[in-house]
Amino acid sequence: MTNRTAFVTGASRGIGRAIAHTLAHAGARVIVASNERENNDIVAGEIRAAGGQATPLFIDMTSQDSIKEAFAAALKEGRIDILVNNAGVTKDGFAVRMKKEDWDFVLSINLTGAFLACQQVLPGMMKERWGRIVNIASVVGQMGNASQANYVSSKAGIIGLTKALAREVAGRNVTVNAVAPGFIETDMTAKLPQEVKDAMAAQIALKRFGKPEDVAAAVKFLASDDAAYITGNVINVNGGMYM
């Protein structure tokens, strides 16, 4: 990935941080983007300390103006070859009582934000006739999950967006794929009671949670030249929870 630039949203922690580190280690210059300025600086600093290239960048995925400004700033330094739409949030609750603002908030970041980010990079990728877009979906976008109608809908939408865009831009040598993680060890899952973790692990064929680096490895592959003949696909990184 030498001489490639990767823009990673939600890169300030968890899976996004692992993706940023993994792509940087593979030789890409990484734009570490999220709405957490301090954490962006920390992650970019970690990458540079390890000998990689990284630039921190603020982005608010709920704001079309912020998205446009962030990508405009990134593009001033050169083209963006790889986009990883990783930014995501949850606002769980049973559908019968879910507030519209909680529905709108999750969809605005997880799906609309990802779509708007794609719009910013596609013209350049199509012109260069090379590009990789990797969208982070979720196992629940495939199998559903109670009390997550908004999140599940957003991640199912990400899969649909991936397939639609893949068909649109394949003729320009731009691939669009998704990675669907299962239960991954992150700050979010770390807060769960042990009995809940045990119940979740029991549903997984490998009987354990995955690590952020497992997801990052799949992203690295899809972003590489080795995946040139793969587009419109979903790689499941879920330990056999859903097959």
Catalytic residue numbers read 151
Q: What are the structure tokens assigned to 198, written together?
A: 């045990």
Determine the Cα–Cα distance for residues 39 and 217; give it in Å rounded to an integer: 22
Decide the pairing of beta strands 29-34 and 174-181. unpaired
Determine the Cα–Cα distance for residues 168 and 155; give it in Å rounded to an integer: 20
Please check whether residue 69 is in contact with residue 62, taking contact to mean a CB–CB distance below 8 angstroms: no
The strand pairing partners of 206, in sequence order, are none
Residue burial 5-19, b: 16+ Cβ < 10 Å; e: rest: bbbbbbbbbbbbbbb
Q: What are the structure tokens assigned to 158, written together?
A: 């990400």
